[in-house]
Structure 1
Amino acid sequence: MSVSLGLGGRGGTVLQKAADGAWTGTTAGPLDQGFHYYHLTVDGGTFNDPGTLNFYGSTRWESGVEIPARDADFYALKDVPHGRVEQILFASPSTGTQRRAFVYTPPGYDKNSATRYPVLYLQHGWGEDETAWSNQGHANLIMDNLIAAGKTKPFIIVMTYGMTNDVRPGGLASFDIKPFQTVLVDELMPYVDTHFRTLADQRHRAMAGLSMGGFETKLITSANPDKFAYVGLFSGGSFSVEDVNATVGFKNKVKLVFVSFGSRELQGGRSGPPGGPRVDPRANADALKKSGFNSVFYVSPDTAHEFLSWRRSLREFAPLLFKD
C-alpha cells in the first residue's frame, strides 16, 4: 500500500507503516505556525483523515491541523463574554436560489435590545465558503477577545459565499464580479439591515476579504463608495493612488484602506492576487498615505498565503474600524 500526506501546500510526504500499525513520516522542513489543510493519498486515491475535523477548502472538505503559534492567545477560547455565530438563509432573486450566510453578533447583542451596531462584510478565499472565517479563521474568538480587552468597538460580522459562478485557479483576471455584487449589495445587505439591529449607513459599514475575497472587496467597494467606508484586503491585492483617483467619490467617502500580506508572500517586495499582476503593495500604501489618504499596511511575520496571516490581519484591522 502506498500512503502519502499532502500538508501545508507541499507535495506528498511519504508515510511508512510502523510495527504498531501507525503511519508516520517527516516533512521536508518545518511548517509555518498556524492552520493548514491536509489530506491523505492512498494508492492514488484522495481521502480525509478520519481522526480529525474537516474544513471546506480547495473546493472540497479537507482535514485540518494547527501548528501551535507563538501568538495564538489572540484567537484562543478564553473566559470572556462571547458573541454568537448564527446561520441565516436569504432569498436571492438574481440567482433564483436561497443562499446562506453566517452572522456574528457581539457579546451583549441579545441583552441590549436598543443598541445598533456597525457591520463588517467579511469574505473567504477561493475554494472556501461561508464557513471559513468562523471555522478556520476563528473570527468570532478574535472579536470576543478584542472586545473584552477594549481594543475594538463591538460590531456585527456577516460572512457569505462569494461565488455565483465557477472560477478555476488563475482565472480571477476574467472573473465577473457583477453577479456576486448584486447578491451582496442588493439582496444580502437589505436582509441584514432588516433582520439585525444595524447602523445601516455608509459610515458604519465595512468590507474585507482574504485572497479572492480581497479581490472581490476591491471591486465591490470601488463600485460602491457610497455604501462602504472601510476596506480591507488580506493577501488580495492593493490600492494605488491611481485606483483611488479613478473612482469618483472614493477619496472623499472611504475612511480607510487596509492592506496586508504574509511576509513570505512579498517576494522581492512584490505581490498580488492569484492570477493578477504583481505590484509593490507597500509602495502603493505609502503613496496613498503621502497623498493624504488613510492607508494602513500590515505584514504578518513568518507566514505565507495562509490563515495565520489572515487571523492576524483581522486582529489588526478590527480596531481601526468605526472610529467616528
Structure 2
Amino acid sequence: MHGTEPWKTALKPKDVVLCHRRSYLGLNARKVKMIRQQLLGLLASYLAGASASVTVRKTDKGPTGYEVDFKYINTTANRVLIGGGLQPFSDHFHTTLNTRAWYDPHDYKPGDFYVSHGQPPEDYQWPYEMTNEGDGVWTYTTPLPSGIYSFAYLIDCDFAPNCSIVTGQLVTDPDLPPFENVKGDQVASSFQVPFDARFQGTDDINGNFDYALPAPAEFRGTIKSVNYTSPGSIHPEPDVHHLALYLPAEYGKVEGKKYPLLYLSHGAGGNGNDWENQGRMSSIMDNLIAGGHIEPTVVVMPSFYNLDDSLPRFIMGNFSTMWALPTSQHIRENYEKYLFPWVEENLDVCDKPSCRAFAGLSWGGRLTYEMYVNATDYFDWFGMFSPAADGPYVDEAALAANTALAKKGLFVAYGLYDSVIKAGQDLQAALDGLDIKFLTRISPFGGHYWNTWQDELWWFGVKALWKPFPYTQQTGR
C-alpha cells in the first residue's frame, strides 16, 4: 500500500552521486497498444519542450545542511507542482494515526519527518509549487533532511492520481528515469539527501538514512529487470512475467558458490521495481554486506499483479485497478508453481530453507505471513514489514499441526504512525500467546510509507536475517 498525495504521489545530483546499477534482460517487442501509449507520452513531452534536472547541494547551514534545486523546462505549462511522493513534514508532537502537521520543508526543525496520511487544513497550500522564471523555465529550491524522495512533475494538475503519464501531465525526470521493466511501469523518479548531524540530529529520533547511499565501489552489486516464463501472465507479455533482481558484487566470481536467497515483495499499487526506485534496496543490501551484517545475498523482487487474467489488468498509478488484488494464497500458489522453480534453475542460489527468506511490505507483509503459515518448510526467515494481515492468526491448533512455525526466524515491524499498526500488534499478540519467539521493530518516525520500510529492511538485515534462531533475549544484542 502506498501513500499518494499531489500531491501524493531529475536528476542526477551534482554534489551527491546516486548510482543505479541497471541492466535489462529479456525485453522483447511489446504490444501495439503499449507502444502507442509510450509514443503519445513522448510526443506530449516533445511538443512541450520538456527537460529537467535536480541538484542536491551541501550548504553547511540550516535548516538541514542541504538544499535541493529543481529545474524543469516546459514551454506550454501554466502551472507545475512537484508531487508523486514528495511530502510535507510533521513531528512527534502533532502526529497520530489519523492526523499530522503540514510543515513546509523551509520550516524544518530537527526531528521532523514525513508521513503520507492525514487531511490538510482547508486553506492549505501545497509547498512544492514551482516558479515560472520565463521562457518556460520552472524552478523550485527547498531544504530537505536525510532520506530518499520520489517525485514527479505535475503539469496543470493538482492531484497525482488524476495526472496521466500518457498525456504528459505527469512527468518523470528524463535525466534519471526510474528503474522499470516496461516504460510506464513506474510513475516517479527519485533522489537522496545525505544526513548532517549538525542540523538534523535530535535526541528523540534518528532520521539518518545514509545506509541507503552508495556503498564503497567494491561492494556495489547489480540490479536487473528480468523476464521469466509464467504461463497465464498478462504483463509484460502473454505467459511472461517480470521481477527485479539484485546480485551481490561477489556473484559469479566464486566458482560453484551458491548464495543465500531473499524474496522481497512490494505492496498494493506497486510492482517489483518499487524496492529499488523508492527504497534503494540495492544500496541497503550493499551496505549490509559491506558492514558484515549479512553474507552476500541474492534478492528476487517479483510482481504479484497481472499473474493471470482473473482480475482486471493493473497499470501502475491507476487507482481504479490498485485494489483489485489477488489473494495471498493465489500469489503463493503461482510463485510456487512458476517463480520459485525458475529462480532455482537459473540463478546460483541455495536449494535449502536454511538459506532462504521471504519478506515484504504492507500487502507484501501479508504475503509473507501467508508464506510463513503455508510455505513454512520452504523458508527459514520471514520479514513482515507493516503487514496488512487481518487474521485469524496462528493459534494452538495451527501450531500443533505445524510445529515448525515455532522454529523460524521471524521479524515483525511497523511504524509508530502506521495505518496497519493494529494488525501488526494483533499478529505479535498471537505469536506471544503461543510463546513463538520473534524480533520486532517500531520505526519511531514511521507511517505507512517508504521511510518506514527502508528502516525495517535495514534492521531486518542487521538483527534478524541469517541470524541463529529461534531468537532469544540475547539475539541482536
Q: TM-score with structure 1 length normalisation?
A: 0.80
Counterpart for residue 402 of structure 2: 249
Q: Secondary structure of 2:371's match?
A: helix
Q: Secondary structure of 1:302's match?
A: coil
Task: Assess, with a 3 A threshold, how the Cα gap between structure 1 residues 52 and 298 changes in structure 2: closer, same or farther.
Answer: farther
1:90 partnered with 2:255: no
Q: Secondary structure of 2:358's match?
A: strand
How far the C-alpha of 1:87 sits from its partner, in A, is: 3.4
Counterpart for residue 264 of structure 1: 417
Q: Deviations over 1:278-302 (max 9, x none)?
A: 7253464266246331211102222
Counterpart for residue 315 of structure 1: 458
Counterpart for residue 372 of structure 2: 221
Contact 1:5 1:39 in 2 (8 A): yes
Deviates more, 1:306-315 or 1:2-11: 2-11
Contact 1:122 1:207 in 2 (8 A): yes
Match of 2:274 among 124, 127, 132: 132
Task: Assess, with a 3 A threshold, how the Cα gap between structure 1 residues 86 and 25 changes in structure 2: closer, same or farther.
Answer: closer
1:109 partnered with 2:251: yes
Distance of 1:47 and 1:282 partners within structure 2: 38
Unaligned runs of 5+ in 1: 266-270, 273-277
Task: Assess, with a 3 A threshold, how the Cα gap between structure 1 residues 52 and 242 changes in structure 2: closer, same or farther.
Answer: same
1:64 partnered with 2:193: no
Aligned-partner residue type, residue 225 of structure 2:
Q
Deviates more, 1:191-200 or 1:236-245: 236-245
Deviates more, 1:136-145 or 1:243-252: 243-252
Match of 1:77 among 205, 211, 214: 214
Counterpart for residue 268 of structure 1: none
How far the C-alpha of 1:68 sits from its partner, in A, is: 4.2
Task: Assess, with a 3 A threshold, how the Cα gap between structure 1 residues 51 and 263 changes in structure 2: closer, same or farther.
Answer: farther
Query: Aligned pairs, how many?
Result: 312
How far the C-alpha of 1:114 sits from its partner, in A, is: 2.4
How far the C-alpha of 1:122 sits from its partner, in A, is: 0.5
Aligned-partner residue type, residue 211 of structure 2:
F
How far the C-alpha of 1:56 sits from its partner, in A, is: 7.4
Contact 1:55 1:136 in 2 (8 A): no
Match of 2:356 among 205, 217, 220: 205
1:5 partnered with 2:82: yes
User: RMSD over aligned Cα, in angstroms?
Assistant: 3.5
Task: Assess, with a 3 A threshold, how the Cα gap between structure 1 residues 322 and 43 changes in structure 2: closer, same or farther.
Answer: closer
Q: Which has the higher strand share?
A: 1
Match of 1:300 among 443, 457, 469: 443
- Bigger-Rg structure (1/2): 2
Aligned-partner residue type, residue 61 of structure 1:
V
Deviates more, 1:253-262 or 1:149-158: 253-262
Q: Deviations over 1:24-58 (max 9, x none)?
A: 6799xx97852333333333453225466344799
Distance of 2:284 and 2:331 partners within structure 1: 27
Q: Deviations over 1:134-154 (max 9, x none)?
A: 232222221221112211122
Q: Secondary structure of 2:219's match?
A: coil
Task: Assess, with a 3 A threshold, how the Cα gap between structure 1 residues 255 and 50 changes in structure 2: closer, same or farther.
Answer: closer
Task: Assess, with a 3 A threshold, how the Cα gap between structure 1 residues 190 and 312 changes in structure 2: closer, same or farther.
Answer: same
Q: Secondary structure of 1:298's match?
A: strand
Distance of 1:105 and 1:4 partners within structure 2: 37
How far the C-alpha of 1:310 sits from its partner, in A, is: 1.2
Counterpart for residue 149 of structure 2: 36
Q: Deviations over 1:94-152 (max 9, x none)?
A: 43511122222223221212222221110112222221222322222212211122111
Distance of 2:392 and 2:404 partners within structure 1: 10
Task: Assess, with a 3 A threshold, how the Cα gap between structure 1 residues 73 and 42 changes in structure 2: closer, same or farther.
Answer: closer
Match of 1:152 among 282, 294, 304: 294
Task: Assess, with a 3 A threshold, how the Cα gap between structure 1 residues 66 and 136 changes in structure 2: closer, same or farther.
Answer: same
How far the C-alpha of 1:184 sits from its partner, in A, is: 1.4
Distance of 2:415 and 2:320 partners within structure 1: 20
Q: Secondary structure of 2:412's match?
A: strand
Q: Deviations over 1:217-255 (max 9, x none)?
A: 222332211212211111223697942546431654651
Task: Assess, with a 3 A threshold, how the Cα gap between structure 1 residues 264 and 199 changes in structure 2: closer, same or farther.
Answer: same
Aligned-partner residue type, residue 38 of structure 1:
F
Task: Assess, with a 3 A threshold, how the Cα gap between structure 1 residues 60 and 97 changes in structure 2: closer, same or farther.
Answer: same
Aligned-partner residue type, residue 292 of structure 2:
G
Identity of aligned residues (%): 26
Distance of 1:87 and 1:62 partners within structure 2: 17
Distance of 2:228 and 2:174 partners within structure 1: 34
Q: TM-score with structure 2 length normalisation?
A: 0.57
Q: Deviations over 1:241-281 (max 9, x none)?
A: 9425464316546512212122222xxxxx42xxxxx7253
Contact 2:268 2:325 in 1 (8 A): no
Task: Assess, with a 3 A threshold, how the Cα gap between structure 1 residues 61 and 172 changes in structure 2: closer, same or farther.
Answer: closer
Contact 2:228 2:241 in 1 (8 A): yes
